Amino acid sequence: MISKRVSELLCSTAGYPLAREYDIKIPGAVNLASNENPYGPSPAVLRALKRELKLSGLYPDPRATKLKQAIGGYLGVGTDCIAIGNGSDELMDLVCKAFVDQGDRVLIPLPTFAMYELSCVPYGGKPVFYKLPNFEWCTDELARAAKNTKLVFLGRPNNPTGNCLSLDGLRELLKVGAIIVVDEAYVEFAEDSVAKLAAKRKNLIVLRTLSKAFGLAGLRVGYAVGNPETIKILERLRAPFNVNRLAQVAAVAALRDQRYMRRVVARIKNGRAYIRRELAKLGFKVLPSDANFLMVDVSPLEIDAPGLCDFLVKRKIFVRDLSDFRGAGPNYVRITVGTPQQNKRLVGALKKLKGGR
Ligand SMILES: Cc1ncc(COP(=O)(O)O)c(C=O)c1O
């Protein structure tokens, strides 16, 4: 018989809000809905994959030794502070498996990434939602909301708002005593990481991924950084071969070619500034972002998010309608920064929207 916890989950409305046009391969379509990296991985990754393919019959290294060494070098932390996951999604699940008991309160600021809720509920966690006032971070309020919670999920930068709780704010939050899980999926597009701090602090876990800046979303490589005791627990809980052979070599090659990653990140940041500037000129309200996407209030153009998405879909441009994101409301979309050509196509289409009204 199905467990009580899972039957509760199946009855709830919580679900991963997949983009409407997810994975539709229409020729000439531009997908700016999924926060993928439009440049893909470094050519060195493709070469490494080709070499490794012939070993596909062999199990991967269950300790992911080379990958841990590469990540340790990248961040400046010891390999005993790193656990590898099948994407950071798996690590969210493992963290909840390790720390969330039936009835534990888990603080989730809104709007945010749906996986935080979906990861804690199967373990009996009770999500406590805290709506960000004007989509901004207010340390005092957040720290108050975190009282009597077991764990706090914090996107830094946050998806979809794109902004970050300040470093001082995070330090305040750590004093509350809950386990703070900082999701740094987009940190390469931002200013500062707290991964090094996590290696020392007992109640801080940082989650990172190679899906975004390194362009490996299809291969599923994420990692957790924490103090060695926390990491030991995650290591005990994960399946031995959770990260496949191809993913491991691809991630090592990606981390060895940081010049490529930095070049790509610089281009995406330029694109982010371009879209923000052009959309503001058209009258949209664009929130500042430290990530590879922008959250945009479309209501100044007298349209709502589903309406704007429909308009763009007809032009084969997909952006993320946030009206089904908990806490975002009907007027917001999230736009992933694309290549300069893709960004221009988006801006051109939105100019037509404005011109037609
Ligand atoms: C905030 C955030 N964290 C984590 C992830 C997932 O990362 P991964 O591909 O490593 O599972 C995403 C994916 O979109 C995300 O937006």
Neighbouring residues of 273: CB distance < 8 A, sequence distance ≥ 6: none
Query: Is the CB–ligand 1 distance for residue 87 below 6 Å?
Result: yes
Cα 181 to ligand 1 centre (Å): 13
Query: Is the CB–ligand 1 distance for residue 242 below 6 Å?
Result: no
Q: Are 5 and 100 in contact (CB under 8 A)?
A: no
Cα 203 to ligand 1 centre (Å): 21
Cα 302 to ligand 1 centre (Å): 32
Cα 354 to ligand 1 centre (Å): 33
* Distance, CA of 85 to chain centre: 14
Banded model confidence at residue 217, pLDDT cuts 50, 70, 90? very high
Q: Are 196 and 82 in contact (CB under 8 A)?
A: no
Cα–Cα dist 235/133, whole Å: 37
Query: Is the CB–ligand 1 distance for residue 35 below 6 Å?
Result: yes
Beta partners for residue 318, in sequence order: 31
> Which ligand 1 atom is at minimum distance from the Cα of 89?
11
Pocket test for ligand 1, best of 88, 95, 183, 206 (most atoms within 8 A of CB): 88
Q: Tell whether the model's pLDDT for residue 237 goes beyond 70.
A: yes
Each residue's pLDDT tens digit, 192-214:
999 999 999 999 999 999 999 99
Q: Which of 294, 118, 80, 95 is nearest to 179 (CA)?
A: 95
Cα 185 to ligand 1 centre (Å): 6
Cα 344 to ligand 1 centre (Å): 26
> Which ligand 1 atom is at minimum distance from the Cα of 217?
9
Cα 211 to ligand 1 centre (Å): 7
By CB neighbour count within 10 A (0-12 exposed, 13-18 middle, 19+ buried), where does 33 fall?
buried
Cα 89 to ligand 1 centre (Å): 6
Q: Tell whether the model's pLDDT for residue 89 goes beyond 80.
A: yes
Phi, psi of 200 (to 5 degrees): -105, -30
Regarding beta strands 317-321 and 30-32, do their DSSP bridges make them parallel or antiparallel, or are they unpaired? parallel
Each residue's pLDDT tens digit, 258-297:
999 999 999 999 999 999 999 999 999 999 999 999 999 9
> Which ligand 1 atom is at minimum distance from the Cα of 159?
1
Cα–Cα dist 283/277, whole Å: 10
Q: What pLDDT is attached to residue 45?
A: 98
Cα 162 to ligand 1 centre (Å): 13
Query: Is the CB–ligand 1 distance for residue 155 below 6 Å?
Result: yes
Each residue's pLDDT tens digit, 30-72:
999 999 999 999 999 999 999 999 999 999 999 999 999 999 9
Q: Are 270 and 264 in contact (CB under 8 A)?
A: no
Each residue's pLDDT tens digit, 124-153:
999 999 999 999 999 999 999 999 999 999
Q: What pLDDT is attached to residue 23?
A: 58
User: Which structure tokens are listed for 286?
Assistant: 């664009």
Query: Is the CB–ligand 1 distance for residue 158 below 6 Å?
Result: no
Q: What pLDDT is attached to residue 19?
A: 60
Query: Is the CB–ligand 1 distance for residue 217 below 6 Å?
Result: yes
Q: Tell whether the model's pLDDT for residue 22 goes beyond 60.
A: no
Domain annotation for the chain: domains and CATH numbers = 24-40+259-355 (3.90.1150.10), 43-256 (3.40.640.10)
User: Which structure tokens are listed for 245?
Assistant: 């052979």
Atom 7 of ligand 1, residue of closest alpha carbon: 88
Per-position DSSP letters for 164-218, written without gaps between them? ---HHHHHHHHHT-SEEEEE-TTGGGSS---HHHHTT-TTEEEEEESSSTT--TT
Q: Tell whether the model's pLDDT for residue 20 goes beyond 70.
A: no
Q: What pLDDT is attached to residue 18?
A: 62
Average pLDDT over residues 324-342: 97
Q: What pLDDT is attached to residue 3?
A: 77
Q: What pLDDT is attached to residue 308?
A: 98
Cα 313 to ligand 1 centre (Å): 24
Average pLDDT over residues 84-101: 98
Q: Tell whether the model's pLDDT for residue 17 goes beyond 80.
A: no
Cα–Cα dist 325/330, whole Å: 9
Atom 3 of ligand 1, residue of closest alpha carbon: 185
Give 3-state DSSP helix, strand, coil % of the chain, rounded to 5.
45, 15, 40
Of 228 and 355, which is predicted with more confidence? 228
Q: What pLDDT is attached to residue 356?
A: 76
Query: Is the CB–ligand 1 distance for residue 185 below 6 Å?
Result: yes
DSSP 135: G
Q: Tell whether the model's pLDDT for residue 357 goes beyond 80.
A: no
